[in-house]
Structure 1
Amino acid sequence: MEKPYYEIMIEGPFSFNYTFRRHHRTTETLKPMVIDQETKRFIKWIYLGETPFLLDAKVKKQDGKVYIVPNTEDNTENRSLKEYLSRMLGVDNSLDEFYHTFKDNEKIAMLTDEFHGMRVLANPDLFEVVVDTIIGQQINLTFAATLKERLIRLAGDVKTFEGVDLYLFPRPETVAQLEYDQLRELSFSQRKAEYIIDFARNVVNGNIDFERLWTSSNDEIINELLQYRGIGRWTIECLMLFGLNRPDVLPAADIGLRNAVREIYKLDLQPRTEEVQLLAEKENWGPWAGYITFYMWQYLNMVSK
């Protein structure tokens, strides 16, 4: 008797090209994922629990519907894998609802037309998201990617897939055992080394429970994590959007968002944080503030090229 075959349905419009265009911070020599735009296939080493697992899946369309299909020799329903994929693609976030809500908003409708079917591609490894964001604080993207690769090669793992070096991000337990000087030797600042290692130690000793964050409210997450050194509101907002795939996060202080608002709304000056918040309230961004932010970032990237 054949074992049951399974797949995950994504409701509403879906663009593979737009969704998988955004990578997590990377370098030319080390990649988080192999992406084949032609076959709509993506491959990535992940952890299911504490076990390394080669995530290999395709996106297929059938009868007007979109499915994520794991390519495994034994395609039986794996609850951990199904949960990972659902979190990664934010399958509970309805783009139909998002687009319908703002169909009469000229500025946002312009964005949804331009990037139709683009979903936020999240990283359910919340430890990686936080550390990645800490690394990127107040330095340029190229140097941040270099530091991340150095940390991975020190404490994580690298596996080759079809000639491409893919990484497994270090586990909290491994990072918690590092000494600050080990990161300082890799050109991390003293403070950044302390922030990362201390954060890992708080995860290991149980002060921070990532699994609980999935069911916590945005305010609860902010209040819980703000007490830790190196973790400010912007870092938490990045975690909620790019880790937890929350569509209602508004990182109003983000420079990229403020620049995008200036560009899209044809403002003379970059708006202040308070002005972005007022705009979001006036236009009722509410439940979709995170997606609006994400689309605005992509628009800014497009017009800046």
Structure 2
Amino acid sequence: MNKELLDKEKDELIIHAPREFSFSENLSYLSRSSNECLFEIVDQKIYRALFVENETILVEIRAENDTMIFVRFLGRTSSIEKHVQEAVSQYVRQWFDLDTNLFPFYELAKNDPLLQRPVSQFYGLRNMGIPDLFEAIAWGILGQQINLTYAYTLKRRLVERFGKSVEYEGEKYWLFPTPEVIANLTVEDLVEMKMTVKKCEYLIGVAQLMVRGDLTKEELLNAKDVKAAEKMLTKIRGIGPWTANYVLMRCLRFPAAFPIDDVGLHNSMKLVMETEAKPTKEEILKLSGAWANWESYATFYLWRLLY
């Protein structure tokens, strides 16, 4: 169990990150879209609203020397309760994937023809997570068969129409819509977001499953292996192998999650190998043969070359 310290004078949590971590590299990744609506980055600090322990908390996240993270609670007139501190700390640790030991992955990558370049270029980058299951699945559904830029546009429309926000010093900070809100919508409520009818149906369907308790993060985490968890997800309408593996990577942290049919993965491999044609599935399986239980991180680092 990682113990975090609270600087009571500043209402600030101090979180110690592992050696193989670079706050600046992760901040660079988080800055990839100017249309991100769930946090703001200003002067190397992240500002984000979190819903923890049944209350909305606004935090500022910064770092010193890359590996010491400071989380400041904003707009509070009372002291921060211990259970709230712990919940916020846990969220940050999950978001930045601080509890994964990357040393074995970096040792593996040293001699891997596909991973040498991205690991050298982005050393300290973490598989930035989406701790909330509904948000992770929704983001996966929104991103199906469209480019990343338009996916961010759809997310902003959804969040600003159905999410909640808090204000601080004249700025609004948004929370992703809850399953309870989306479950009560109709397709007609969502099509004005300029999403396809099928995506609207998928989002509402997933939200209803979660509200009924038929889909939970705990149940997926208790799956015996990544294939079992993938099968549980792909039984759900609107979730195919790509979306399932995306959720397994970014939310559930299955290290062997591997979206092998992903176009971005193919393009990044093509880029590294300097070939004209994308690799076949058989070639990918051969090239990834040494990645056992690091497929998720290998994919994320290869994606980073493009996004």
Instruction: Report the TM range for the smaller structure's normalisation.
Output: 0.7 to 0.9
Match of 2:301 among 287, 295, 305: 295
Residue deviations 1:116-162 (CA, integer Å, cap 9, x gap): 11112112112111111111111233332222222222211233445
Q: Is the 8 A contact 2:97 2:129 kept in 1?
A: yes
With over 3 angstroms needed to count, the CA separation of the structure-2 counterparts of 1:180 and 1:106, relative to structure 1, is closer
Q: Tell me, in whole angstroms, the C-alpha distance in 1 between the residues paired with 2:50 and 2:172.
A: 14
Secondary structure at the residue paired with 1:55?
Answer: strand
Q: Tell me, in whole angstroms, the C-alpha distance in 2 between the residues paired with 1:250 and 1:58.
A: 31
Structure 1 match to 2:154 = 147
With the length of structure 1 as denominator, give the TM-score of the two structures. 0.86
* Shift in Å, 1:231: 0.5
Residue deviations 1:261-290 (CA, integer Å, cap 9, x gap): 111122331112332122111xx1112221
Q: Tell me, in whole angstroms, the C-alpha distance in 1 between the residues paired with 2:33 and 2:123.
A: 25
Note the 1:18-29 alignment, pairs <5 A.
18-23=25-30, 28=35
Match of 1:53 among 51, 57, 63: 57
Structure 1 match to 2:242 = 234
Match of 1:256 among 264, 269, 293: 264
* Shift in Å, 1:195: 0.5
Q: Is the 8 A contact 1:87 1:245 kept in 2?
A: no
* Shift in Å, 1:106: 4.2
With over 3 angstroms needed to count, the CA separation of the structure-2 counterparts of 1:25 and 1:57, relative to structure 1, is closer
Q: Is the 8 A contact 2:22 2:67 kept in 1?
A: no
Q: Tell me, in whole angstroms, the C-alpha distance in 2 between the residues paired with 1:157 and 1:24.
A: 22
Extract unaligned runs of 5+ from structure 1: none
Q: Is the 8 A contact 1:88 1:245 kept in 2?
A: no
Match of 1:268 among 264, 272, 276: 276
Q: Tell me, in whole angstroms, the C-alpha distance in 2 between the residues paired with 1:200 and 1:25.
A: 28
Structure 1 match to 2:231 = 223
With over 3 angstroms needed to count, the CA separation of the structure-2 counterparts of 1:60 and 1:27, relative to structure 1, is closer
Structure 1 match to 2:91 = 84
Matched length: 291
The one-letter code of the counterpart of 2:272 is I
The one-letter code of the counterpart of 2:287 is L
Residue deviations 1:218-258 (CA, integer Å, cap 9, x gap): 22321211111101111111112222334432211000001
* Shift in Å, 1:168: 0.7
The one-letter code of the counterpart of 2:51 is Y
Extract unaligned runs of 5+ from structure 2: 8-12
Structure 2 match to 1:126 = 133
With over 3 angstroms needed to count, the CA separation of the structure-2 counterparts of 1:144 and 1:111, relative to structure 1, is closer
Q: CA RMSD in A?
A: 2.5
With over 3 angstroms needed to count, the CA separation of the structure-2 counterparts of 1:155 and 1:25, relative to structure 1, is farther
With the length of structure 2 as denominator, give the TM-score of the two structures. 0.85
Q: Is the 8 A contact 1:258 1:273 kept in 2?
A: no
Q: Is the 8 A contact 2:230 2:248 kept in 1?
A: no
Q: Tell me, in whole angstroms, the C-alpha distance in 2 between the residues paired with 1:35 and 1:167.
A: 14
Q: Tell me, in whole angstroms, the C-alpha distance in 2 between the residues paired with 1:193 and 1:96.
A: 41
Identity among equivalent pairs (%) = 29
The one-letter code of the counterpart of 1:291 is Y
Secondary structure at the residue paired with 1:21?
Answer: helix
Structure 2 match to 1:172 = 179
